[in-house]
Amino acid sequence: MRHALNLATALAVGLMPVAALAQSMSPMRGEVNSFTDAFAVRVFPANPYNQKIKIEVHVYDQDFQPVEARISPAIFQLGAQASRPVLVVVPFDGAAERKVRICTESIPFPNEQTQIRAQICGKFFGHRKS
């Protein structure tokens, strides 16, 4: 039992630096008031790693169904320790409010040893004002 506990502790300590270097995006939440038929959100994906990564930005509804949104840029490479702005414009589609998830996904480069696809999502609320 003591050996298993020591092994679990060693694994947890050994994995902590990996968890600390997680891909990020800010802000993770937001509310936007708009007087038009769409609302805009600017997010900042960040790369904490010491090598460049490929990023894709996607927009989903509350049930993670894809939402037609304008994303600029939608796909790009992000340098080591870098961050950059991404503009996301979401239509209300006739509704007075819209809740969406904006997700940043890191895409592994071909021929890399690690082929992990990471995703981080933020929740955003748009309110249409008349």
Long-range contacts of 2-11 (CB under 8 A, 24+ apart): none
Would you state the pLDDT for residue 46? Answer: 93
Give the model confidence (pLDDT) of 1-35 as tens digits: 444 434 333 433 333 344 345 678 999 999 999 99
Task: Please name each of the domains of the chain with its CATH number.
Answer: 23-128 (2.60.40.10)
d(CA 84, CA 2): 47
State phi, psi for 90 to the nearest 5 degrees. -115, 125
d(CA 109, CA 111): 6
User: Is 38 or 110 the better-scoring residue by pLDDT?
Assistant: 38
